Amino acid sequence: MKQLTAIYVDDELPALELIKDYCLNIPEIDLIRCFTNPVQAMEFLHEQPVDLLILDIEMPELSGVEFAKKLEKNQLIIFITADPTHAVQAFELDVIDYLVKPVFPERLAKALKKAVDIYSFQETNKDSNYLVFKSDYMMNRLQKDEVLWVEGSGEYIKIVTRFKSYMVLRRLSDFIESHSAMGFVRIHRSYIVLKENIKSHNSQMVILKDGSQLPVGRSYKVNF
């Protein structure tokens, strides 16, 4: 398996140097750059995306949380901070881990191993017939035809199957952009279905093969 490329962003230089040294002892991680300025780090990412971000939270100009919100939803992120009160906010962003300073080598190694495992899982399961996503801090893999529909609600989507529903931190527009090639189509501002799973439709609703009925948006009729 290839190394994960990573950057670390922290306005505290001593902490930055310490984590940099720790990462040198972890062969699966290639820490290609470190930044004390989050704005410069963001500019770098626009030119050179990386597999993993290690972010401090309390930084001037742009906090780690604000930084993370500007990124793709599937970006792998580890937060490092001196303030433990940000934990809930951090995990709402579905980050891999949340480390409180001072960070010890063993704790960082554990977090980085989680990142490597998630990345490996995603790469292994890249297949046009499967969806791979994180829900409730677990990686999941579904065949596309297991999905009845995908429902959007703000920053989240709900992936509905016959037996279970999964909440995923991702916008509906991001999902259709990534999965339209698999045969998913948007039928409403709040709903996406697999085109081959549509049994029939009229001007107001789509009927799926399992009998489920979903509303049709006027502007989306051209999709099916």
pLDDT at position 89 is 79
Distance (Å, rounded) from C-alpha 174 to C-alpha 178?
6
Average model confidence (pLDDT) across the chain: 90
Tell me which of 137 and 117 has the higher pLDDT: 117
Task: Say yes or no to pLDDT of 126 above 70.
Answer: no
Distance (Å, rounded) from C-alpha 211 to C-alpha 127?
28
Residues 58-102 pLDDT 10s: 998 899 999 998 887 779 999 998 888 887 777 778 899 999 999
The encoded tokens of residue 68 equal 């993370």
Domain ranges of the chain: 4-124, 130-223
Question: Going by DSSP bridges, is the β-strand pair 76-81/97-100 parallel, antiparallel, or unpaired?
Answer: parallel
Task: Please give the angle made by the CA atoms of 119, 122 and 123, to the nearest 5 degrees.
Answer: 85
Instruction: State how far the alpha carbon of 10 is from the alpha carbons of 37, 189, 205, in Å.
Output: 7, 39, 51
Grade residue 39 by pLDDT with cuts at 50, 70 and 90.
Answer: very high
CATH architecture assigned to 130-223: Beta Barrel (2.40)
In CATH, the number for domain 4-124 is: 3.40.50.2300
**Residue 74: how many CB atoms within 10 A of its CB?**
16
Residues 194-208 pLDDT 10s: 999 999 998 899 999
- The pTM of the full predicted model, rounded to 2 decimals, is 0.70
Q: What is the mean pLDDT of residues 156-167?
A: 95
pLDDT at position 155 is 87
